[in-house]
Every structure is written in C-alpha cells, then in structure tokens.
C-alpha cells in the first residue's frame, strides 16, 4: 500500500498558503503530506453523493456541509493562522458553529468528518488523521471504504474515541451529531447511497 509523499521540514499554514495552487497538500503537526494524484472516480462518486444528500437534509438548518478541497485549520490554541501547524482537507466536513467559518475555510474542529478511503491514504486516515481529529475534538469521524463496503465510525466520548463501530455499508446508519439524519446504503455494490430522513438518530 503506497503512502503520500512528504515535504522535508516543519511547516505552518503561512508556508502552505505560499505553495503553488495546483499542488494539494495537508499539514499534520507541521508535517506536509502530498494529496496528489486526484482520487479515483469511485471515490469521487461517493464523496459527491454523500455531500449532496447531507446538503439536502441540512437545508434551512444551522449546520453546513463542505467537500474537499476545503481547508480546515486546527490550531493548538489561539495562535495566529500563519502559525497553525495542522491544515487538512477532509473529503466531507460538517460544521454547525458558524463562527468557525471564514473565507479561507474552517478554523476549529468540524462536528462530523467523513474520509472516503483510497489505497494511497487509508493508513494515514486510520492512524495519523484519527489521532489528529480526536485531539481536536471532532465529535464523529467516519471512514468509508467504497470497495470493501465497510464503514468505521469513531465517536468522541469524554474527550476520546472509544472502540470503533465497524459495519457493512447496508441498511441505515444514523448520524449521532445530526439529529434525524440517517444514511441508507444501497444493497447493490454499484448502487448509489440514498438518504433516509426518519427519526433514526440521537442528538
């Protein structure tokens, strides 16, 4: 399983903003991770479909959904943006606190993050990003494996992720942080996921 290339050195968001626009990188604790090449079509189909469905559910509600590329800055404390050492581009991010949003993206932890796994980034998403999201207080973290049709869910309890909930992409999956939202996965591996908006989720 290949891994993303790294730039050598320690970097901040101030450095990141000066890099060429055609390059895509993430910073995790000052370490730069290359996000090229572009994801596969199956990966993007899943991201687009989830974003569309979540966005439809959130119409008229305070939470907002964003798909990559969308910068999420995760400061350690109250340091200036140019000194922030972690900037990520989750596949899907849902933010319910509008004060975290600005023209540059989001500063602070989203409430819910979804990463759609690919061969190249799966290890990073399961380890490095999981630890980062836990430390910064992402309430719910989903890892979707579109090929194996497996979903891994981490939920923050008392400031830490407990044992993950691992399930097949079948039936309905409630979203704990978005009351009333449940995602129903098609039984056919080639089927689109569809949105179920019943009273299936807790707050």
CA–CA gap between residue 133 and residue 2 (Å, rounded): 22
> What is the spatial distance between Cα 168 and Cα 122, in angstroms, rounded to a whole number?
17
Inform me whether the pLDDT recorded for 200 exceeds 90: no
Q: Are 183 and 173 in contact (CB under 8 A)?
A: yes
Q: Which domains does the chain have, with CATH numbers?
A: 37-196 (3.90.1570.10)
Summarize the confidence of residues 160-176 as an average pLDDT: 94
pLDDT value for 137: 97
- Confidence (pLDDT) at 23: 85
Give residue 119's pLDDT: 82
| Residue with the larger pLDDT of the pair 22 and 26 | 26
pTM (two decimals): 0.88
Q: Is the pLDDT of residue 6 over 70?
A: no
| Angle, CA 21 vertex, CA 96 and CA 122 arms, to 5° | 60
Tell me the mean pLDDT in the region 76-97: 97
Q: Residue 123 above 80 pLDDT?
A: yes
Helix (H) or strand (E) holding 15: helix 13-16
pLDDT, tens digit, for every residue of 125-166?
Answer: 999 999 999 999 999 999 999 888 999 999 999 999 999 999
Share of the chain above pLDDT 90, in %: 70
């Amino acid at each position: 399983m290949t891994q993303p290339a790294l730039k050598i050195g320690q970097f901040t968001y101030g450095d990141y903003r000066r890099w060429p626009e055609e390059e895509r990188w993430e910073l995790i604790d000052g370490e730069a991770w290359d996000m090229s090449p572009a994801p596969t079509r199956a990966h993007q189909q899943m991201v687009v479909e989830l974003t569309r469905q979540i966005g439809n559910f959130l119409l008229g509600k305070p939470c907002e959904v964003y798909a990559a590329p969308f910068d999420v800055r995760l400061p350690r404390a109250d340091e200036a943006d140019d000194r922030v050492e972690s900037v990520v581009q989750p596949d899907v991010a849902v933010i319910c606190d509008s004060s975290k949003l600005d023209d540059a993206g989001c500063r602070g932890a989203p409430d819910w993050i979804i990463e759609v796994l690919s061969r190249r980034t799966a290890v990073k998403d399961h380890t490095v990003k999981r630890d980062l999201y836990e430390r910064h207080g992402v309430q719910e973290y989903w890892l979707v494996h579109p090929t194996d049709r497996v979903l891994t869910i981490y939920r923050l309890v008392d400031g830490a992720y407990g044992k993950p909930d691992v399930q097949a992409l079948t039936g309905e999956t409630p979203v704990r942080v978005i009351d009333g939202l449940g995602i129903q996965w098609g039984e056919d591996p080639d089927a689109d996921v569809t949105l179920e908006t019943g009273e299936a989720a807790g707050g």
